[in-house]
Each structure stands twice: as structure tokens, then as C-alpha cells.
Structure 1
């Protein structure tokens, strides 16, 4: 099967802070990041097309890298773990743009 993704993916697990107007700030586990998006584990996936701010915190640093993104897909993954069936839910987010003022509050007019 041929890979459809054009961007190289990094399969690392890391913490992100996702902010939305409707749901506030919440910490999640993200993985499988590329230049265009990533997968975020969520027990209760955000609605499709929800605009979010993703903050990637840097260890031992107050700085953060921020991106504006949109929820593109919902995923429900089932897998075996030592002969036990497990499940994982989450969302695929697509990066819209990165915010140059890393860690700074996002002005309202830049959310749209």
C-alpha cells in the first residue's frame, strides 16, 4: 500500500496544551507529528472543524511553540496489548499556521 501523506512523520509521544474558546485549556498527549499536523489522544474528541491553539511546551523552559490548528478527523483505534484488546480515541489536527510570538497570548483577530 502506498503512503498518501506527503509530510514526514515523527512518531514521538509528548504533552501539548490545547486551547479553545468553548472548552478552555486542556492538556493532552500528542504523537505522530509532521509539518502539517498531528494526532492528539482525547477521550472526548473535540467537534470537527473546531479551531484550536496548540502549545508545545519545552522541558525546563517557560517558552512554548504555538500553532493555530483545526480538528480534521476523529479516530477510534483498536489494538492488541499482550493478548488484551485495547482502544484509543483522538483527533487529527491540521496546522493552519505557527504563531511567531511563542508562548504569548493569541490576539482574537488571529484566531480566524
Structure 2
């Protein structure tokens, strides 16, 4: 991932982490169905931040997939739970932002 895209991913992540709803997704959530950490590798937004700092993403799609994975864990909670409602709002915001960035990246390809 080039430096410009990494910085844009960083901006997207920071906006998610400092928002009023960030409390729900900063730390890994237990998988609501299995209740076992052994079955899946769980992550939160702070883990994604760490991965960005350590240059673990070679493509922007890897970053986006991890963000979506965090949302998928939260969306397994009951529909009326605050975690589920928060994840839905944040996911909608992320997808809109991600679509806009992808559009810009396509336009600026060499």
C-alpha cells in the first residue's frame, strides 16, 4: 500500500475511533454465537490501528476487510442492543466514506 493510501486509511480509522460511538468497537467483541475466542481471531479498531502502524496491510482491501470484520462481529449482537445499533451506524458511515475514497483512487491512478 502506498503512503498516500495508507494515510487516507489512517484518517478513516481515526474518524471511526474518535466518534461518539467508538466505545463499542475499539476493543475486540466476543463472538456472540460461539462465545469462544479460540474459534475465530477477534479484533477491534485498536487492533487495526496497530496493524496500520506495523505496516501489516499490503493492500487497501485488506484494511477494509478488517474494518468490515469488526462490524460483522458487532452486528451479531441482538438488533436492539446498543452494540448492534452503533455498529450499523458506523458501518453505514464507513461504507459511504470508503466508496468516496475508492472513487478518488480510481480517478488518480497512473
Q: Same fold (TM over 0.5)?
A: no
Comparing both structures, which one devotes a greater share of its residues to helix?
Answer: 2
**Which structure ranks higher in relative contact order (CA pairs < 8 Å, sequence separation ≥ 6)?**
2
TM-score (norm 2): 0.23
More strand by share: 1
